[in-house]
Amino acid sequence: MNPLFSIFVVNRESYRSPSYIWKNANRDPEDLWVIQRTLKGRAFHVNTSGIRSFVYPGQAMLFRHDDGSIYGYTEGDKEVYEMEFISMRGDIADAICGQLIKEYGAIINLDPAGEASAQFAVIMKMFKERSFRDAVEASEHVYRLLLAAYREQGNLRMDNDPVAYCHSQIENLNFRPISIKSLAGELGISREHLTRLYRARFGRSPGSRLRQLRISRAQTILASTTLSIEEVSLACGFSSANSFYRAFRRMTGHSPLAYRRRFSRHMS
């Protein structure tokens, strides 16, 4: 693995029109990773699973040019969307950025007063001034930025951003028997209030996102193992086989066993 990053371009831009939209399928150069943080307003982001979310100040979107995601100015908004971005490539960019998305999703938190944002500013300044001594120094700063961002996600506290905490728990612990009610209880707010806050930021309810992740996991397990329905339900965080059966049928239109048989016929 090449331990160096290659910074392609950095810039600060602002937009106030829905004509600002990018579709990352087959976008050149294909191997570029981009970390783009919101300074003012908001942008929308549609991840590779088709989930639409919003990216606010204090957050950044992370994507690769060929990953199939979509982002841009939110139609109907009136406020200027201002952002800055760093695009990079390299084996280590694939490793760290890919791990960030795997663990925390394509939208991450960047504290404006935190270490990651400070490194962001340093890279912006040094790139524009052409003051990096060499590729090693540039790589060192990008590495610090991404590791600081990684650390910030891991240090997320429920009292700093309850919606981000809820989202992190759903994205990373959906295989456990967590519920929106229990998460709301941890946060000291009602389930209804948490749902309203979450929907305002991510464009959908936390319950629907939790179900989607669990059913997607169940589909993979059903298609690739011979585990019983009870075992699959437990592996996907459902409280019982009955609740798993109802949720699976409602979302896919098939029972778990019918899905397994259909998949087996398709593969045979």
Q: What percent of the chain has pLDDT over 90?
A: 72
For the chain, which residues make up each domain, given as ranges? Answer: 6-154, 157-268
Over residues 231-248, the pLDDT tens digits come to 999 999 999 999 999 999
The secondary structure of residue 37, as a DSSP letter, is E
pLDDT at 156: 65
pLDDT above 90 for 96: yes
Q: State the average pLDDT over residues 259-265.
A: 81
pLDDT at 164: 80
Q: State the average pLDDT over residues 85-98.
A: 94
pLDDT at 2: 82
Beta strand spans in 30-76 (E): 33-40, 43-46, 52-55, 59-64, 70-73
pLDDT at 159: 60
pLDDT at 213: 93
Over residues 140-169, the pLDDT tens digits come to 999 999 999 988 886 665 566 788 888 878
Per-residue pLDDT band for 201 (boundaries 50, 70, 90) equals confident
Specify the CATH number for 6-154; select among 1.10.287.1770, 2.40.40.20, 1.20.140.10, 2.60.120.280.
2.60.120.280
**Total-model pTM:** 0.63
Three-class secondary structure of residue 114 per DSSP: coil
Per-residue pLDDT band for 265 (boundaries 50, 70, 90) equals low
Residue recorded with tokens 């809820």 = 166
Q: How far apart are CA 111 and CA 152, in angstroms?
A: 8
pLDDT above 60 for 266: no
* Helix, strand, coil shares, percent, the chain, to 5: 50, 20, 30
pLDDT at 48: 86
Over residues 9-58, the pLDDT tens digits come to 999 999 999 999 999 998 988 899 999 999 999 999 998 878 888 999 99
CA 193 to chain centre: 22
Protein fold of 157-268 = Arc Repressor Mutant, subunit A (1.10.10)
pLDDT at 22: 97
